[in-house]
C-alpha cells in the first residue's frame, strides 16, 4: 500500500517503523526538515518538507494514488484539515489523531461529517488501557479479543507461585484450567513454548483464555485479584483527565497530584469528584501525606519518563499498590522492563498498533482478515485475531495435521461466541475467529500460518 504520514513526531516515527517492516510505500511529511530527513533515511521513505494540509504538498506526496493518508501532527485541527484536504484531493482512506478532550463527545459527528475513516486518541487509548489493568491488578498487561470475550494477560511467575522447573504441559494438567501459556520472556528473549518447555522462576508468562478461565487460573495459582478501590495519580495531563472520569464512574476514590495551579483549577472543574492536590508529585513527604502507603493503585503520568520511573520505584518500596507507569520514549524499553515496576504504558505503541491493525484489515478485504492485532513483548511477538470468511487450506483440517510455521501457536477459536481452547483434533471452520500468537512478523492472512 502507498501510505502518506503527516507528522514525524513520536507517533509518526513509531508508526513508520512498524509499517516500513511490511514493505509499504511510505511518504513522510513534516514542516521540520531535519525530522523529515531523519525519518526518510531511517525508514527508506520518501520525505517532503511542508504543510501537510497544503494542496500542493499533498499532490507532491502523491495523494491521488495513495491508499491511506494518516495525519498525526501535534495539532488536532491541522490533522482534521489534512484529512479533509486529502479526501477532496484523492480517493484514499484517512486517519486523524484528535487528542483534545473538548472533541471527545463529538468524535462520531466529526468523523461522519468530514468523511474520516478513523480517529485515534493516544491519551484516551492509554487511559482505557490503564482502566483495564486496574480492574485486573494481577496482570502486567491485558489485551482483549473476540469482542471482549477472550483475554491475553501477562504476569511474572514469582518463586512463591511454584512454577519453577515445571513444564508447560505439567502445569496446565495440574491446574486443570482451560488456558494456554502462549509466550515466555526470559533474559530479554521471547519463546513461543510447546508442552515440554520448562518454566523458570521470574519468567514473564503470557496466557490466553476466556474471561472466566483466566480468572480461575489466577485464583488456582494463589494470585487472588484484590479489588482496587482507590488510585493515587501523579501528573494531571490529558491521560489523567480521561482516566479520572472513567474511574469515578465505577466508584473509585481518585486523587491527582499536579504541580501547575491553573491545571489544578481546570481538573477541579472537569472531574469534580476527584481530589486535586496542587503540589510536586516527586516530593516524598507529599506522597506519604496523600496516602501512598495505603493506596490500592499508583499511576505515574508526568511528562518526564525518568520521573515516572523513579516515582514508581519509590511507590513499590513504600506501598503494596498496583503500579502503572507511562513512558513516551521507547528507545530504552528493554532497560525499563528490567526494573520490574509493574505495568508500563507506551501511548505511542498503542496508537501505532491500532493503525497497523486498520492497515492489515484494509489489505485483507477478501477472504480471511485481521480483526485484531497487538504487538506483544516490546514488539518481539504479535497476537492476531483472524476472521475466517471462506474455505482455505487451514479449514476443515485437524489442527494436529496442519504444517504450522515454527514459533507460532493457535491460542483460541471463537465459534459464534463459544470460546474453544484448541486441541489437536479441533478444526477451524468458516465463520470462526482464530487467535494466533507468533514471533513471525507480517502475517496478513490465516493461510500465512502454514509453512510454504
Helices (H), 333-443: 333-337, 347-363
State residue 149's pLDDT score.
82
2-120 placed in CATH 3.40.50.300: no
Give the residue among 79, 133, 132 at the shortest CA–CA distance from 107. Answer: 79
Question: Does residue 365 surpass a pLDDT of 60?
Answer: no
Domains 141-220 and 355-449 share a fold: yes
State residue 378's pLDDT score.
66
Question: Does residue 122 surpass a pLDDT of 90?
Answer: no
What is the arithmetic mean of pLDDT over 284-292? Answer: 94
State residue 367's pLDDT score.
43
CATH among 3.40.50.720, 3.30.70.1450, 3.40.50.970, 3.40.50.300 for 355-449: 3.30.70.1450
Helices (H), 250-400: 261-270, 284-289, 305-318, 333-337, 347-363
Question: Does residue 338 surpass a pLDDT of 90?
Answer: no
230-345 placed in CATH 3.40.50.300: no
What is the arithmetic mean of pLDDT over 99-113? Answer: 86
State residue 340's pLDDT score.
76
CB burial class (10 A; 0-12, 13-18, 19+) of residue 170? middle
Output the DSSP codes for 98-155. ---GGGGGGHHHHHHHHT-SEEE-HHHHHHHHHHHHHHSTT-SEEEEEGGGTEEEEEE
Question: Does residue 452 surpass a pLDDT of 50?
Answer: yes
Could you read off the pLDDT of 17-65 as tens digits, one per residue? 888 877 789 999 999 999 999 999 999 899 999 999 999 999 999 999 9
Query: What is the C-alpha separation between 267 and 293, in angstroms, rounded?
Result: 24
State residue 232's pLDDT score.
97
CATH superfamily of 141-220: Regulator of K+ conductance, C-terminal domain (3.30.70.1450)
- Measured CA distances, 384 to 143, 194, 401 (Å): 11, 19, 21
Pairing of strands 166-167, 198-199: antiparallel
State residue 248's pLDDT score.
95
Least confident of 17-31, 230-244, 399-413: 17-31
Residue ranges covered by each domain of the chain: 2-120, 141-220, 230-345, 355-449
Q: Which residues pair with 436 in a beta bridge?
A: 384, 410
Could you read off the pLDDT of 148-207 as tens digits, one per residue? 788 889 988 989 889 999 999 999 888 888 899 999 998 878 899 988 999 999 999 999
Question: Does residue 366 surpass a pLDDT of 70?
Answer: no
The answer to whether 295 and 319 are in contact (CB under 8 A) is yes
Query: What is the C-alpha separation between 307 and 321, in angstroms, rounded?
Result: 18
Q: What is the number of residues in the chain? A: 452
State residue 225's pLDDT score.
61
State residue 285's pLDDT score.
94
State residue 334's pLDDT score.
63
Least confident of 73-87, 208-222, 227-241: 208-222
Amino acid at each position: 500500500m502507498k501510505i502518506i504520514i503527516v507528522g514525524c513526531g513520536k507517533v509518526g516515527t513509531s508508526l513508520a517503523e512498524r509499517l516500513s517492516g511490511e514493505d509499504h510505500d511510505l511518504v513522510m511529511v513534516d514542516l521540520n526538515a531535519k525530522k523529515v530527513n531523519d525519518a526518510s533515511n531511517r525508514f527508506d521513505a520518501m520525505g517532503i518538507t511542508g504543510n501537510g494540509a497544503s494542496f500542493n504538498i499533498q499532490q507532491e506526496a502523491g495523494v491521488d494514488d495513495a491508499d491511506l493518508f494518516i495525519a498525526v501532527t501535534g495539532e488536532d485541527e491541522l490533522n482534521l484539515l489534512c484529512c479533509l484536504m486529502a479526501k477532496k484531493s484523492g480517493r484514499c482512506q484517512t486517519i486523524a489523531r484528535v487528542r483534545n478532550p473538548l472533541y471527545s463527545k463529538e468524535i462520531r459527528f466529526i468523523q461522519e461529517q468530514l468523511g474520516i475513516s478513523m480517529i485515534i486518541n493516544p491519551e484516551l487509548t492509554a487511559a482505557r488501557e490503564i482502566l483495564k489493568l486496574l480492574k485486573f491488578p494481577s496482570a502486567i498487561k491485558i489485551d482483549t479479543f473476540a469482542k471482549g470475550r477472550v483475554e491475553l494477560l501477562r504476569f511474572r511467575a514469582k518463586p512463591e507461585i511454584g512454577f519453577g522447573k515445571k513444564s508447560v504441559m505439567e502445569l496446565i494438567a495440574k491446574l486443570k484450567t482451560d488456558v494456554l501459556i502462549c509466550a515466555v520472556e526470559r533474559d530479554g528473549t521471547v519463546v513461543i513454548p510447546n508442552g515440554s518447555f520448562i518454566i523458570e522462576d521470574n519468567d514473564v508468562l503470557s496466557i490466553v483464555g476466556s474471561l472466566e478461565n483466566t480468572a480461575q487460573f489466577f485464583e488456582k495459582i494463589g494470585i487472588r485479584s484484590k479489588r482496587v478501590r482507590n488510585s493515587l495519580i501523579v501528573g494531571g495531563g490529558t491521560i489523567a483527565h480521561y482516566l479520572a472520569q472513567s474511574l469515578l464512574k465505577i466508584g473509585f476514590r481518585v486523587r491527582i497530584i499536579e504541580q501547575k495551579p491553573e491545571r489544578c483549577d481546570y481538573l477541579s472543574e472537569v472531574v469534580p469528584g476527584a481530589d486535586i492536590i496542587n503540589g510536586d508529585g516527586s516530593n516524598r513527604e507529599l506522597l506519604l501525606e496523600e496516602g501512598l502507603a495505603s493506596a490500592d493503585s499508583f499511576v505515574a503520568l508526568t511528562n518526564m519518563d525518568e520521573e515516572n520511573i523513579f516515582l514508581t520505584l519509590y511507590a513499590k518500596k513504600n506501598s503494596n499498590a498496583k503500579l502503572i507507569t507511562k513512558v513516551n520514549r521507547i528507545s530504552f524499553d528493554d532497560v525499563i522492563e528490567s526494573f520490574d515496576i509493574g505495568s508500563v504504558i507506551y501511548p505511542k505503541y498503542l496508537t501505532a498498533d491500532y493503525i497497523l491493525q486498520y492497515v492489515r484489515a484494509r489489505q485483507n478485504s477478501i477472504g480471511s482478515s485481521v480483526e485484531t492485532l497487538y504487538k506483544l513483548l516490546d514488539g518481539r511477538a504479535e497476537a492476531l485475531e483472524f476472521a475466517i470468511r471462506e474455505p482455505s487450506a487451514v479449514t476443515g483440517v485437524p489442527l494436529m495435521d496442519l504444517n504450522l510455521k515454527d514459533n507460532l501457536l493457535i491460542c483460541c477459536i471463537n465459534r459464534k461466541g463459544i470460546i474453544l481452547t484448541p486441541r489437536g483434533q479441533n478444526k477451524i471452520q468458516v465463520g470462526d475467529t482464530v487467535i494466533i500468537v507468533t514471533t513471525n512478523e507480517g502475517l496478513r492472512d490465516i493461510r500465512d500460518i502454514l509453512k510454504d
